[in-house]
Amino acid sequence: MEIKDVEKLAELAKIELSLDEKKNLLSDMEGILSYVKQIQEVNIEEIKPEYEHRNIWREDKIEERDFSGDLIKEQFPESQDGFVKVKKIM
């Protein structure tokens, strides 16, 4: 990995980093990846992916919920007429 890989990932993750932070992250990530790489020695061909997990479905129904709309709206960092407000997109 190189600094530019860190920059690419930071861009995808929408995080702004200083050069020092990039350097630290690079060395941390190399350490972590070299630890987790050990799974590459497992022979996964022997493992049959048997999924016993199943989806839980439910009908769409309109029901009362416990959410407080006011509490949600009160917390918008910026709002107008009860909508969240952000910088112009287009």
Partner 1 sequence: MIDLKNLTIEKASEAMKNGEYTSVDLARAYLKNIEEKNKELNAYLEVFSDALDQAKKADEMIKNGKQTKMTGIPIAIKDNILIKGKKCGAASKILENYTASYDAFVIKKLKEEGAVFIGRTNMDEFAMGSSTQTSAYGVTRNPHDTERVPGGSSGGSAVAVASLMALVALGTETCGSVRQPASFCGLVGLKPTYGMVSRSGTIAMGNSLDQIAPFGKTVRDAEILFDAIKGEDEMDATSIESVLIPSREGKIIGIPWHLFEEGVDKEVMDNFKESVEKLKNAGYKIVDIKLPYSQYSLAVYYIIMPAEVSTNLSRFDGVRYGPRKDGESVNDEYKKTRSAGFGAEARRRIMIGTYVLSHGYYDAYYKRAWRVRHAIEREFENIFKEVDFVLTPTTPTPAFKLGEKMNDPVAMYLCDIFSAPANIAGITAIALPSGMTGKKLPLSIQFMANHFHEKDLFDIGKKFEEIR
Tokens of 79: 């709002």
* Length of the chain as a residue count: 90
CA 57 to chain centre: 25
- Positions 16 through 75 that interact with partner 1 (CB under 8 A): 16-17, 21, 24-25, 28-29, 31-33, 35-40, 42, 44, 46-47, 49-51, 55-56, 58, 65-68, 71-72, 74-75
Residue 7, Cβ neighbours under 10 Å: how many? 14
44 DSSP 8-state letter: G
Q: Enumerate binding residues for partner 1 (CB under 8 A).
A: 6, 9-10, 12-17, 21, 24-25, 28-29, 31-33, 35-40, 42, 44, 46-47, 49-51, 55-56, 58, 65-68, 71-72, 74-78, 84, 86-89
